[in-house]
Structure 1
Amino acid sequence: MYALTPRLAQFAAVARHEHVTRAAQELGVPQSSLSRALARLEADLGVALFARHGRTVSLTPAGRTFLAAAERALTAVEQGAEAVRSDADPATGKVAFGFLHTLGWETVPELLRAFRADHPRVRFALVQNYGDAMLERLRAGELDLCLTSPVPDAPDLVARRLDEQRLRLVVPDDHRLARRKRIRLAEAAEESFVTLEPGYGMRRLLDTMCAEAGFTPRIAFEGEEAETIRGLVAAGLGVALLPPPVFPRPGVREVAVTAPRAVREIGLAWSAGRPDTPPVAAFKAFLLSRRGRLLRAEPTHHPAPEDNR
């Protein structure tokens, strides 16, 4: 099959002109070379595609059948070529960009708005997922770039730390810790936790930080989305360790954690050795230029009177 592919355009040109010389002139190849290529094509297929009439040719029934398939194949190749050229166009190309669910409310829309101020026609295919799933899609070539946490350390990926988010212990507003401004995580050792499922970066952070604080968290509920977790906390079903919300949520209090240091790093990752198209390179440079100021300021909260222990 692969040996036939380079000869399809030659065959289609001869079929269109019904004349080897004119087809050779269109293709910019010697007539003798084109004649030999057609002879090899017919030999490979084991059928005659053309009937010869002096200097002209006409398709045989087998040739007409093969021409229909050849034209479909050539059209598909041209459409594919046009698609990749379009995606790589510096002004109108496409970026496949992945990011964490918790960055989708405000951070990513603000980043895209700022980038498109200078690149108004660049297109984006946006994917929201948890970190491990995005890295697999990055490796598979389905994503060009992704914002993820924790920052991956793998030989087949390149990653750069861009920013960090402070994490809070989220408790119901009638909880014993709700009036505190700050706590040590060890003070929540006896609580039931509501958290994200295994595989999520926040779940690994919870497990790691609790281990540093000297306990294993007792998991009451697992979910897939941070705001759902907050809703479960508001319902009194446990406490959670989460990044700050975009908007303050009724029914919960967000308490700063002083020990261990409660932050999650946000990084930009891409596949090592894979060349960037111009729009991907431009967006990557834009994101790297935002290092240290990727995230918007956290919302202002109005805590209850606190016990500063």
Structure 2
Amino acid sequence: MEIRQIKYFMEVARREHVTEAANALHVAQSAVSRQIAKLEEELGVALFIREGRVVRLTPIGKVFLEQMERAMNRFDDAQRIIEEYTDPERGTIHIGFPSSVAAYILPTALSRFRRDYPNVKFELKQGSYYEIINSVVKGEVNMAMVGPVPADHPKVAGTILFTEKIAALVPAGHHLADRTAVTLNDLRNDPFVMFPEGYVLRDMTEEACRQSGFRPNVSFEGKDMDAIKGLVSAGLGVSLVPEITLIDSLPRATVQVPIKEPDMGRTVGLIVPRDRELLPTEELFHGFAQAFFDRLERFQN
């Protein structure tokens, strides 16, 4: 089994088309077909169901792809370790994040880090909360900044950087907009703007409403924080959002109102895989982030 065969296999698996994969790899289509045939012969199993040049993974092909993605990620890590070993201040950090930390938290940390380590490069991967955790598990990234930090996850370990409040975001003309604080029960008859099902802030909101004795009426859904804010700004409902997402970016025609009951908040921090060591440059950022947010929290208090 050769690295070249694995790379050809993975490209075809992603594109489900031999010719498109060959074009992306800048090799002849016949070369791709030949190497995959040799790989299948060596393994003794069919990895693809062929329909002309269009292909689909067999069940065992899907298993093999998952394992090879992890193996190739480890191979890439090994190459990066060698490159970073002599100078971790010139390495590359792959970090994942969901939209709720994209507007203020992560950019603030990256900007400050780059002042101390200007030669470090970053490759960023954005996705939903659960997608990003899965990316760490699979080795697509070795680190992610998320909120909340998962507790007792079998495959990732978390470091809490700080804790923040969840606030109500309501249209400016809302009957509770002039309140100094509200209870979640005060909003029970309002339409809610939420993330789609499967997003962690949706789960947190629904659980808090359940504990307050009602099920929220979801009027609209948005897949990122800007969409949520825009829908509230348009007067289409109320929403619960982390306070830090409103720093320097409170939408027009909206009001932020603290929630006094229940006490709603979330942890924000870094997650890393339990079964892999961080690369030298990643270790550098991990330690920096802990110290940076610790100083920030002490200054704010």
- Calculate the TM-score normalised by the size of structure 1: 0.66
Work out whether residues 107 and 294 of structure 1, in 8 Å CA contact, stay in contact via their aligned partners in 2: no
The residue aligned with 1:158 is: 157
Deviation at 1:118, TM superposition (A): 2.3
1:236 maps to a residue whose letter is G
AA of the residue aligned to 1:262: M
Give the structure 2 partner of residue 229 of structure 1: 228
Does residue 179 of the first structure (1) align with residue 181 of the second (2)?
no
CA contact (8 A) 1:163 1:294 kept: no
Tell me if the contact between 1:158 and 1:270 (Cα under 8 Å) persists in the aligned partners: yes
**RMSD (Å), alpha carbons:** 2.6
1:103-252 paired onto structure 2 within 5 Å: 103-153=101-151, 154-244=153-243, 245-246=246-247, 247-252=249-254
Distance in 1 between residues matched to 2:222 and 2:196, nearest whole Å:
6
Unaligned runs of 5+ in 1: 3-78, 299-309
Q: Which runs of 5+ in 2 are unaligned?
A: 3-75
Question: Which amino acid in structure 1 is aligned with residue 139 of structure 2?
Answer: G
CA drift at 1:178: 1.1
Q: Distance in 1 between matches of 2:96 and 2:78?
A: 25
Aligned-partner Cα distance in 2 for 1:133–1:95? 18
SS in 1 for 2:124: strand
* Partners of 2:81 and 2:279 within 8 A in 1: no
Shift of 1:239: 0.7
Cα separation, partners in 2 of 1:158 and 1:80, compared to 1, 3 Å: closer
Mapped contact 1:100–1:131 kept (Cα < 8 A): yes
Give me the whole-angstrom Cα distance separating, in 1, the residues matched to 2:282 and 2:140. 13
Secondary structure in structure 2 of the residue aligned to 1:187 = helix
For the 8 Å contact 1:97–1:146, the answer to whether it is kept is: yes
Whether the aligned pair in 2 keeps the contact of 1:205 and 1:264 (CA below 8 Å) is no
| CA displacement at 1:175 relative to structure 2 | 1.1
- The aligned amino acid for 2:192 is F
The alpha-carbon deviation at position 237 of structure 1 amounts to 1.0
After TM superposition, give the deviation of residue 108 of structure 1 in Å: 1.6
Q: Contact between 1:172 and 1:236, CA under 8 Å: does it hold in 2?
A: yes
Give secondary structure in 2 for the equivalent of 1:215: coil
Shift of 1:133: 0.5
Cα offset, 1:234, TM superposition:
1.6
Shift of 1:90: 0.9
Cα deviation per residue 1:180-226 (whole Å; 9 max; x = unaligned)?
11011011111110011122221111011111211111111111111
1:64-116 deviations in whole A, cap 9, x for unaligned?
Answer: xxxxxxxxxxxxxxx99866633554121111011221222222222112212
Residues paired across the two proteins, number = 223
Q: Which has the larger radius of gyration?
A: 1
The whole-number CA distance in structure 2 between the counterparts of 1:206 and 1:284 is: 30
The 1:292/1:210 distance shift into structure 2, 3 A limit, reads: farther
**Matching of residues 1-309 of structure 1 within 5 Å:** 1=1, 85-86=82-83, 89-153=87-151, 154-244=153-243, 245-246=246-247, 247-292=249-294
For residues 257 and 80 of structure 2, what CA distance do their matches in structure 1 show? 50
TM-score (norm 2): 0.68
Cα drift, residue 288 of structure 1: 2.0
Secondary structure at the residue paired with 2:89? coil
Shift of 1:290: 3.3
Q: Is the 8 A contact 2:149 2:158 kept in 1?
A: yes
Tell me the percent identity.
30
